[in-house]
Amino acid sequence: MLFFFHRDDDWSDDESDSDLDNMHEHDEYSHSEIINRCNFGSRHLINARLSSQTCLQHQADSSVHDATTQCLHSKDIDGDHGSEETIKTFPTMLKLISGTLVGGVKYSDLYIDSDEDEDTSLTSSFVNESDKEHGKKKKDRKIPTLPKIARKVARLEKTQLDEKQYIAYEMIACTFLLGLLNDGNDKNTKLGAYLQQSMEIAATADVNDVIKKLKARGGHDQLLMFLTGPAGSGKSTAMKVAQQFCYEFCIAVGVMWSDKTFIFTAYTGSAASLFGGVTISKAAFLNQRKQLSIDDRNEWQDVRIVVIDEVSFMSDTILKTLDRKLKEIKNRSQPFGGFTIIFAGDFRQLEPIGAKDTELLFSSLSSQHWENCINAVIILNNEHCFKEDPKYGQMLKRMWSGDLTKDDQMRINSRVIGTSGLELPPEFEGK
């Protein structure tokens, strides 16, 4: 923290010289004693976080702001874009979260053309990098709703969620919102301490009503989901749309967002590299034998949702190590430290190399710790990646479920696989 010393006119040079002489009489002169001799107050404090376009003098003259948290703005509640009044209360955040649940349409009506004034200002990429980098909130940005974000992704990315994907998306998003609500209502958390600086307290009935709505749409205090399905069923897409919603909500209402708020990991390095993530072994220090340091724990202080892809390659021993490490990082009384985790993968693919039955997560001979902790399972079954070659996708789906027909086996044994899909000899065409 930087500060200015300010000397009043009535502090004469003689007094100053005298004070300096007296300083030599002490072996130690504390920082607080020096400050107490100056006319120093909160107006002299300078925020440690400076934007590239803000000078020190301009910031010193402005009011003091909390550098650890961004504020909520009243204009986001009802679309009054002319007001810049800052509101930093829990009731405000409660209203904003409740606003995201508006428009709970049936899935069959989700992608019907709507006359809503939807935000098309963002680029088509998941999580607009330029918007995130500058941390700017557009004046016309409105509070995102669950259906609106799903429709926007469908419009910009040409990717529609099927019904099971949408359920997974809602569960992850509502769990994220429930976490913000719980933290905001707890003065012992960083967000709660910030919001409860005001004397305005939300009615218990209002809080319970929003919690009830979030849980009715799949929200959990701690979600431990197993998201599975055959290749091409859309596991990654459902998680990325959920990430997009969480990001847009945080940006719209001014809640802190970082690269680790919604962290993507995988057990294998090749899988992690596909989406620019890291391995869970590196992220959670699974190979680190020494005790975790404060810096290690601080790397997880912004994490709210953890995605672990290719969980089928994880052994029972590694999973229990992950459980122990995350408990050491956050909460020892809850499984996996209380973090929300989305385990994604397919146990019908390759097993961990050299693993015994006692090490397989799905085996009855293992500790069954993972199976006992999971509180939600969604099995996707659509062939999103095989729209141009549906026969090939359906055959892989039958293979995944163990229902491979004799004709399928003949096709596999006699086919030539090209980059575009399945090519059959003439005698098998039409079968």
Q: Which pLDDT band holds residue 225 (cuts at 50, 70, 90)? A: very high
Q: Which CATH superfamily is domain 72-379 in?
A: P-loop containing nucleotide triphosphate hydrolases (3.40.50.300)
Residue pLDDT, tens place only, 267-308: 888 777 777 778 999 999 999 999 999 999 999 999 999 999
Residue whose pair of structure tokens reads 């098998």 in the numeric block: 428
pLDDT at 313 over 50: yes
- pTM recorded for the entire structure: 0.70
Q: CB neighbours of 164 closer than 8 A, spacing ≥ 6?
A: 378, 379, 380, 381, 382
pLDDT at 73 over 50: no
The more confident residue out of 431 and 99 is 99
**Which range among 227-241, 254-268, 331-345, 373-387 shows the weakest confidence by mean pLDDT?**
373-387
**Would you state the pLDDT for residue 17?**
52
In whole angstroms, give the CA distance from residue 47 to residue 62.
Answer: 10
Instruction: Provide mean pLDDT across the span 240-255.
Output: 92
In whole angstroms, give the CA distance from residue 140 to residue 132.
Answer: 16
- In the chain, where are the structural domains located? 2-61, 72-379, 388-428
**Would you state the pLDDT for residue 238?**
93
Q: Which pLDDT band holds residue 31 (cuts at 50, 70, 90)? A: low
Buried-exposed string 247-266: b where 16+ CB fall within 10 A, e elsewhere: bbbbbbbbbebeeebbbbbb
pLDDT at 59 over 60: no
Mean pLDDT of the chain: 75
Whole-number percent of the chain with pLDDT over 70: 65
> Considering only CA atoms, which of 324, 314, 330 is closest in space to residue 285?
324
Q: CB neighbours of 9 closer than 8 A, spacing ≥ 6?
A: none
Q: Which pLDDT band holds residue 421 (cuts at 50, 70, 90)? A: low
